Amino acid sequence: MRFLLVEDNTSLANAILDRLRLDAHVVDHAPDIESAEAFFATTDYDLILLDIMLPDGDGRSFLKSHRERQDETPVIVLTARSEVSDRVGVLDLGADDYITKPFDFSELEARCRAVLRRRGGGSSNEKRFGNLRFDPMAGTLVVGDRSVTLRNKELRLLEVFLGAPGRIFSKGKLVDRLFSYEEDVSENAIEVYVGRLRKHLIGSGVEITTVRGMGYRISQT
């Protein structure tokens, strides 16, 4: 998953970044609304974590403008305000959830999972395709009766493919989904991760095929 964190408190932002990146999520950090808009103009995100009080404005205006443009990216608001009216206000503006500071990081992770699960239209994180069962949140893959251990990037690459079976992903798009702006990588890295993932999928009834000149796609054999 690729997240956008909009938070001006450096110590809190770094703690959130460290926690989410441990689960191999790609996270870009914007300390203000201007930076957030710049990130959002060039990249698709699975989830936005949005602070309210920012140096150059109110996070609620960012949320409101995106909902008015019919953008449906899930948003969890990070707020120090505990009044019911404040919480109701951000939900009415289009937030999918909120969490009150200070919060436990395990609760933040759980709320992220819940929001993404609801947006995916399911009650479970598990995805089934061919002869495999994959839970991107738990980081587990079962091929038939065999449990497979994936490295972080392999895990997120499979998550991208299974999010849209049959869709062709270019190397550039996969780089965008797997790496943050802070990471300097070439498209050749994608070939390495695709090669590793193909080996893990042997016997699954699923394959990643190369579409010459276009990229890769996952499909059932």
Residue 112 and residue 10 share a domain: yes
**Averaged pLDDT for residues 92-111:** 93
For residue 139, the model assigns a pLDDT of: 83
**Averaged pLDDT for residues 118-141:** 82
Question: Final residue of a domain: which of 65, 84, 119?
Answer: 119
- Quote the domain boundaries for residue 180: 127-220
For residue 80, the model assigns a pLDDT of: 86
**Average pLDDT across the chain, whole number:** 91
Residue 160 and residue 104 share a domain: no
Beta-bridged to residue 4, according to DSSP, are 28, 48
Q: State the pTM of this model.
A: 0.81
Question: Final residue of a domain: which of 119, 145, 166?
Answer: 119
CATH of the domain at 37: 3.40.50.2300
Q: What's the pLDDT band for 123 if we cut at 50, 70, 90?
A: low
Is residue 44 predicted with pLDDT exceeding 60?
yes
Domain count, the chain: 2
For residue 16, the model assigns a pLDDT of: 96
pLDDT tens across 151-208, in order? 989 999 999 999 899 999 999 999 998 998 888 888 999 999 999 999 999 999 999 9
Residue 104 and residue 46 share a domain: yes
% pLDDT > 90, the chain: 73
Residue 46 and residue 90 share a domain: yes
